[in-house]
Amino acid sequence: MSQAILNGLLTGGLYASLGIGLSLVYGVTRVINAAHGAYIVLGAYLAWAAWQAWGIDPFAMVPVLMAIGFVLGYLVQRVLVNAVVKRQVLMTVAMTFGIDLIIVTAVLLTWGADLHIVRVPYAADGFDLAGARVPFVRLGIFGLAICMALALDAIVRRTTIGAQIRAVSQDRPAAELLGINVGHTYGVAHGLAAAVACAAGAMVAMITPLQPFLGVSLLLVAFAVVVLAGFGPIAPVLVAGVLLALSEQLVGLYIGTEYQRLAIFAVYLAVATLRPHGLFGARFYAH
């Protein structure tokens, strides 16, 4: 029981970091970025490849992955998505799913369809806390996820580009009148989201066997987090990630592990239909 709660708490951080980017892109551009799962998969495979080829620890790869993710996300937004951003939701989702398929095929052709996992030398190490085992890897993942969430929040709240992101998300025409380059702002928001997603991929690589088609289920977890949290700022996303992971763990403990994923979708559907603006009714950095 205490182990299940602890696992839920630690996995919750990772789930939140899967959701943050999706929430940011939707909050600013009103586009559901279906390629989000593919960024995570790409990050995971890059982390695995670096570990395989040069023995680089996935945690050490995080800055590199964030840089790659930022550039990729920025380019995707500016070259492709910006041109269709005002169209109806199905068009933008169809396009981002197309981007998702292209990235997934690239991963598939580069690294094949075999299962891969990064087993760092300290994978089995950890300490005991209140009758539950805390592995260092999971604790590190949790800490990193929290750090990324706080950093992203600080960027959106305290920097100039963050102010521009908030301005564009609240009132695009007014922001344009004030001379904000909307295309660039959208690009930065998408870039930040992709950076976090790629970094989250490195963490996924350490605890989940990798295969190229992992992306869709990761995307759904991310979206479930976002639906629970509402498209709001960071704190609700963290709470939602933990809630989701906890319910997953408890269902696994008391009902059976094969019902875990069903539980995620059931929670998602229930919240989506009963409280469409999320458990906390949060809006994107609006007052």
| Binding test (CB under 8 A) with another protein, winner from 52, 159, 181, 217 | 217
CA-closest candidate to residue 283, choices 170, 176, 180, 189: 170
91 binds another protein (CB under 8 A): yes
Task: Write each residue from 29 to 58 as x if it is in contact with another protein (CB under 8 A), else as -, in one continuous string.
Answer: -x-x--------------------------
Angle between helices 89-111 and 36-54 (to 10 degrees): 20
Instruction: Give the integer Cα–Cα distance in Å for 18 and 253.
Output: 24
Contact 62, 202 (CB under 8 A): yes
Distances in Å between the alpha carbon of 236 and those of 42, 162, 169? 27, 19, 18
Q: Any contact of residue 245 with another protein (CB under 8 A)?
A: no
Asked if 146 interacts with another protein (CB under 8 A), we say: no
Interface size with another protein, residues (CB under 8 A): 43
Is residue 80 at the binding interface for another protein, with CB under 8 A as the rule?
A: yes
| Min CB(224)–another protein separation in Å | 7
Q: Please tell me whether residue 276 binds another protein under the rule CB under 8 A.
A: yes
Q: How far is the CB of 209 from another protein (least distance, A)?
A: 16
Angle between helices 234-254 and 136-158 (to 10 degrees): 150
Q: Which is nearer to another protein, 231 or 285 (CB)?
A: 231
Q: Could you say which residues in the range 250-269 bind another protein, by CB under 8 A?
A: 256, 258-259, 261-262, 265-266, 268-269
Q: Are 200 and 12 in contact (CB under 8 A)?
A: no
Distance CA 273, CA 259 (A): 21
- Residue 55 and residue 113: Cα distance in Å, rounded? 21
- List 26, 45, 51, 285, residue binding another protein (CB under 8 A): 26
Q: Does residue 71 interact with another protein by CB under 8 A? A: no
Q: Is 86 in the site for another protein (CB under 8 A)?
A: no
The stretch among 48-56, 89-97, 232-240, 244-252 that binds another protein (CB under 8 A) is: 89-97
Buried b (16+ CB within 10 A) or exposed e, 57-91: bbbebbebbbebbbebbbebbbebbbeebeeeeee
Of 108, 151, 163, 235, which lies in the binding site for another protein, with binding defined by CB under 8 A?
108
Q: Where are the alpha helices (DSSP H) in 159-214?
A: 160-170, 172-177, 182-207
> Can you read off the two tokens belonging to residue 280?
């906390």
Write the DSSP string, 19-56: HHHHHHHHHHH----TTHHHHHHHHHHHHHHHHHHH--
Q: Does 223 bind another protein (CB under 8 A)?
A: yes
Pick from 97, 186, 284, 285 the residue near another protein by CB under 8 A: 97
Query: Which residue's CB is nearer to another protein, number 194 or number 224?
Result: 224
Find the binder of another protein among 1, 71, 109, 174 (CB under 8 A): 109
Evaluate whether 46 touches 198 at the Cβ level (below 8 Å): yes
163 in contact with another protein (CB under 8 A): no
- What residues line the site for another protein (CB under 8 A)? 26, 30, 32, 80, 83-84, 87-95, 97-102, 104-105, 108-109, 216-217, 220, 223-224, 227, 256, 258-259, 261-262, 265-266, 268-269, 272-273, 276
